[in-house]
Amino acid sequence: MNRKEFVRNISLLGVGISLTPLAFSKQTKLAAQYNLPAASVHIPHGNFASSGLIVLHVSEMNIEVTIQKFMKNGITDSEEDLTVYTFHRKNEMLSVSAIGNALSSMGEIQGLRFQKAGHSLQLSDKNYVADLSPSQNTLEIRSHSY
């Protein structure tokens, strides 16, 4: 590599590094924060549901959220309990099942993407990002701002 190429490549690298923080700093503004409803608890041995289903309406993303917990060991909490987060929009449904840190999903809502982000679940559409944090029992809705 000759000197001119070296100087040009270093200059391009410098410009690229200086612009990188802009790419990573796409800020989002908090649009709403919801406390998740209590899970409808299902106890084995006869499909007994100890509590009713509570629906959380998230108007920003036009979805409804319900939470169900299926107890493995009767009425005692366990790390092996199955928690199901169900998201509804019109006739579409997305269910996310969690046992400990393991997640699986079933279904799809058009225009809504799902991914695991650390210890939270993240849903996003063209306008909003929703972070569902089971440990803090919250759902934070942030608007995209580019």
In a domain, 117, yes or no: yes
Query: Domain range for residue 68?
Result: 26-144
In a domain, 89, yes or no: yes
In a domain, 82, yes or no: yes
Mean pLDDT by 10 residues, the chain (146 residues): 73 65 56 87 69 87 91 79 90 88 85 81 89 84 76
Structure tokens at 68: 């169900």
DSSP letter for 77, please: -
> 69 Cβ partners below 8 Å, 6+ apart?
39, 40, 41, 42, 81, 82, 83, 84
In a domain, 19, yes or no: no
In a domain, 119, yes or no: yes
- Global model pTM greater than 0.75: no
What torsion do the CA atoms of 124, 84, 60, 107 make, to the nearest 10 degrees? Answer: 60
In a domain, 140, yes or no: yes
pLDDT at 49: 62
Our count of domains for the chain comes to 1
In a domain, 80, yes or no: yes
pLDDT at 22: 44
In a domain, 16, yes or no: no
